[in-house]
Amino acid sequence: MRRKDREMGFEFGLAVIDKSVYATIAVVDELGEPYAIPISTVRVGDKIYIHSAKAGRKVDLFTPNKPVTMVFVGEVKIPELYSAQELEVLATDESKGSLLARRVFTTEYESTIINGSIAVVSDEAERREALTALSLKYCKSKQELIPMAIRSGAPRTLIYRVDIKELTSKRKKYDDQGEEMKGSCVVAQL
């Protein structure tokens, strides 16, 4: 990671995973080319679960113990560090161009990248736990319907588990005084 000052710790990375609405998972295909797709995920402990239909390119590529990289994005926003009047003053001074680029035309963000290996979950109890966790994450208000949905959908669904081997997370965020907050510089290897 180039910006070590923005690197965050393991627990922060797990929190980003938990709040992410979706992730992107990437593998190398049979020709050595990258293949990446957006997916719905849920974390249970140090494992990430995803679901899939039983056929398709993803199924063909997600072979047991295949290395994968997953990217999760948490909160993202454009900071408003200057008032309209302050921006007008900055716009009159060409020497402030760098400041504009760094503090006005920027994004606050948080992200986590994991490297791990993927496996199909065949244990029925683990499959139910993963499907329940996925359902609760995305449809918590309908939790009374989850058991019926699992009974109906499970036979047509594959569940994959990604075992986290390495996790890195990063954040760019400004405090109330408009100063960039710095991270905790921790990389977790599992």
Which pLDDT tens digit goes with each residue over 34-93? 999 999 999 999 999 999 999 999 999 999 999 999 999 998 888 888 888 888 888 888
- Identify the pLDDT of residue 120: 96
Q: Residue type for 143, please?
A: Q
Task: Give residue-wise pLDDT tens across range 156-167.
Answer: 999 999 999 999
Question: Would you tell me how many other CB atoms lie within 10 Å of the CB of residue 22?
Answer: 14
105 band by pLDDT with thresholds 50, 70 and 90: confident
- CATH architecture, range 4-76+108-175: Roll (2.30)
Alpha-carbon gap, residue 90 to 26, rounded angstroms: 42
Across the chain, what does the average pLDDT equal?
A: 88
For the chain, the structural domain boundaries read 4-76+108-175
Note whether 168 and 113 are within 8 A (CB). yes
> For the chain, how big is the Rg over CA atoms in Å?
21
The single residue listed with the structure tokens 């239909």 is: 53
Is pLDDT larger for residue 178 or for residue 152? 152
Alpha-carbon gap, residue 82 to 42, rounded angstroms: 38
130 band by pLDDT with thresholds 50, 70 and 90: very high
Among the listed residues 104, 54, 50, 105, the one whose alpha carbon sits nearest the alpha carbon of residue 72: 50
- Identify the pLDDT of residue 47: 95
- Identify the pLDDT of residue 187: 44
All residues at 6 or more sequence positions from 62 whose CB lies less than 8 Å from its CB, including other chains: 27, 52, 68, 118, 120, 160
The helix/strand count (H/E) of the chain reads as 6, 9
Structure tokens at 87: 């921006």
